[in-house]
Amino acid sequence: MNRAELIKQIKAKQSFLCVGLDPDMTKIPAYLMEEEEDPIYTFNKQIIEATAPYCVAFKPNNAFYEAYGLSGMESLEKTIKYIKRNFPDHFLIADAKRGDIGNTSTMYAHAFFERLEADAITVAPYMGIDSVKPFLQFENKWAIVLGLTSNEGSSDFQLLKIDNKDLYLHVIEKCARWGNEGNMMFVVGATKPNMLAEVRKVVPDHFLLVPGVGAQGGSLAEVCKYGLNKDVGLLVNSSRGIIYASSEKDFDVKAAAEAKKLSDQMKEIMNSSRIYK
């Protein structure tokens, strides 16, 4: 999916919500575990169908599939195929945080863009240019580079000062030169929303993938205050807050309600920022 198509979807739906698909067998409804042959896939299908009207993107997190070995990877492949077939207008992010020497990153790019048909993959920047560039060689595919993450440990290295500027800003500034607004985004966590203002000085036009709203404590209003640009420029992710809203048979209904709540707030923010269809 290219940038124009993504912006079109966001404006048409008045939502920039991304639903994170992190299926944890200890948290998904018990009856699915008993009744279903592939409970992860069934869980995902129902979550996807219920939340699709309120979001523009889905983000399966690879770890939650790899943890269940081959059968987990099969659930992931089926989930992605299900999205591609039934919701082709949704942006599909493989949250895999890959990054390795050039020939190895190239193998990962094939795996995620060609085999799994994801639109985007999250990429760890520590290894530098040849670990990121292979993900930028595919038409209408995206590398989403870790900038400032939403977790406790983000302060260990990302906030180290170099020439009076945090490392994460150096990372975003340098990586932005390797790609462009049409093939690169950055992860910037919602838990430090004021830092989005610093990020916007460096990359005013890039899309930012913002995790940490909901279970991790970030505020949507704060994120938008500092991060919104004229094209919206944000994909705000919620995983646990949506998909585990209920552990009963109504889990999909409750997930839809949580997604709608965020999407309603987004609509209001877009309207008051005068971003219309």
Task: Report CA 226 to chain centroid distance, whole Å.
Answer: 19
Residue 36: Cβ within 10 Å count: 14
Q: Does 26 bind a copy of itself (CB under 8 A)?
A: no
In whole angstroms, the minimum distance from the beta carbon of 76 to a copy of itself comes to 9
Q: Is 97 in the site for a copy of itself (CB under 8 A)?
A: yes
- Which listed residue (4, 12, 30, 129) binds a copy of itself by CB under 8 A? 129
Give the whole-angstrom CA distance, residue 212 versus residue 210: 7
Residue 134 φ then ψ, to 5°:
-55, -25
Q: Per CB under 8 A, does 182 bind a copy of itself?
A: no
Does residue 139 interact with a copy of itself by CB under 8 A? no
Residue 113 in the binding site for a copy of itself (CB under 8 A) = no
> Is the CB of residue 226 less than 8 Å from the CB of residue 7?
no
Among 167, 198, 225, 267, binds a copy of itself (CB under 8 A): 167
Please name the amino acid found at residue 40. Answer: I
Q: Are 216 and 37 in contact (CB under 8 A)?
A: no
Catalytic residues: 97
Q: Which residues, including other chains, have CB under 8 Å from residue 97's CB and lie 6 or more apart?
A: 122, 123, 124, 146
- Which of residues 146, 188, 269, 270 is near a copy of itself by CB under 8 A? 146
- The residues that touch a copy of itself, with contacts defined as CB under 8 A, are 22, 24, 61, 63-64, 66-70, 73-74, 77, 97-102, 104-105, 107-108, 110-111, 115-116, 124-132, 146, 149-158, 160-162, 167, 170-171, 174, 216
